[in-house]
Amino acid sequence: MLKAYYFPPEGGIKRVDDRKEIKELARRVPVLWIDAREPTEEDLRFLQREFGFREPPKEVFEDIEISSRFYEGRDHLYAIFSFLVQHRDEVYAEPVLFFLKGNVLITLRYSKIVTFSMFKRMVDRHKLSFSVPDRLMAELLNLEVERIGNRLEIIGKRIRSIRQQIFEEQSPEIIKDLAFYDELNLTLRESINEKLRILAKLLRSTKVSNVTKRELKMIMEDLGALADYTSIYMEKIDSVQESLLGLITIRQNEAAQVFAFIATLFLPPTLVASIYGMNFEFIPFLHSPFGFWISLFLMVSVTGGLLLWLKLKKVI
CATH code that applies to domain 254-312 = 1.20.58
Full strand arrangement of the beta sheet holding 104-109: 14-16, 2-6, 32-37, 104-109, 90-101, 77-87, 70-72
Report whether 176 contacts 151 (CB < 8 A): no
104-109 vs 32-37, strand pairing mode:
parallel
Q: What is the pLDDT of residue 218?
A: 95
Using CB atoms within 10 Å of the CB of residue 83, give its burial: 0 to 12 exposed, 13 to 18 middle, 19+ buried.
Answer: buried
Cα–Cα distance for residue pair 278/281, rounded to 1 Å: 9
**Does the predicted TM-score (pTM) go above 0.95?**
no
- Give the chain's mean pLDDT: 85
Cα–Cα distance for residue pair 313/307, rounded to 1 Å: 10
**Model confidence over 29-64: pLDDT tens digits?**
999 999 999 888 899 899 999 998 887 766 666 665
**Model confidence over 115-141: pLDDT tens digits?**
999 999 999 999 988 889 999 999 999
**Model confidence over 215-224: pLDDT tens digits?**
999 999 999 9
2-6 vs 32-37, strand pairing mode:
antiparallel
Per CATH, which fold does 2-249 belong to? Beta Polymerase; domain 2 (3.30.460)
- C-alpha of 135 from chain center: 29
Segments making up each domain of the chain, as ranges = 2-249, 254-312
Cα–Cα distance for residue pair 167/81, rounded to 1 Å: 41
* Rounded mean pLDDT, 241-252: 80
The angle subtended at Cα 135 by Cα 132 and Cα 139, nearest 5°, is 150
- Poorest-confidence range of 41-50, 86-95, 105-114? 86-95
111 pLDDT band, cuts 50/70/90, is confident
